[in-house]
Structure 1
Amino acid sequence: MPIDKKTHILLSRSEVLDRYGIGNTTLYRWLSDGRFVEPIRFGPRCIRWKLQDLEAWEQQRQDAAE
């Protein structure tokens, strides 16, 4: 069975901010409002988002806009 490399790609907070053109305040507001993908927490100062989860979230937003 082939492995989808996207399932293993993790993005840092700064990469997520750059991807969506938002700042820290917006990111944490979206998280607290439940409007954004929950990150994986590796420790108190290390969080990452799965690229696959972000792409699914983007697709949901696009589908809702249509």
Structure 2
Amino acid sequence: MTPYTYLTVRQAATRLAVSVPTVWRWARERPDFPKPHRLGPNCTRWRLSDIEAWEAKHGEVAS
């Protein structure tokens, strides 16, 4: 099993150069945006590999 690198919502927002609420909105409303993974009761993260794949697909440049 390959270990994943996870990003917090704040880290994902910084990487994508958007606000934290925008990341949450995209996760809810955009079917092509990576869904978050719940790692515990108060721990939600995005896989870095999922964010990178989404950036590549959409021509986004990482910050």
TM bin, normalised by shorter chain, reads 0.7 to 0.9
Which one of the candidate residues 28, 35, 41 is aligned to 2:24? 28
More helix by share: 1
TM-score normalised over the length of structure 1 = 0.70
Q: Which runs of 4+ in 1 moved over 2 A?
A: none
Q: Structure 2: which 5+ runs fail to align?
A: none
- Segments of structure 1 that go 5 or more residues without pairing to the other structure are none
Aligned to 2:53: 56
Q: What is the number of residues matched between the two proteins?
A: 58
Q: CA RMSD in A?
A: 2.0
Q: Percent identity?
A: 33
**Structure number with larger C-alpha Rg:** 1
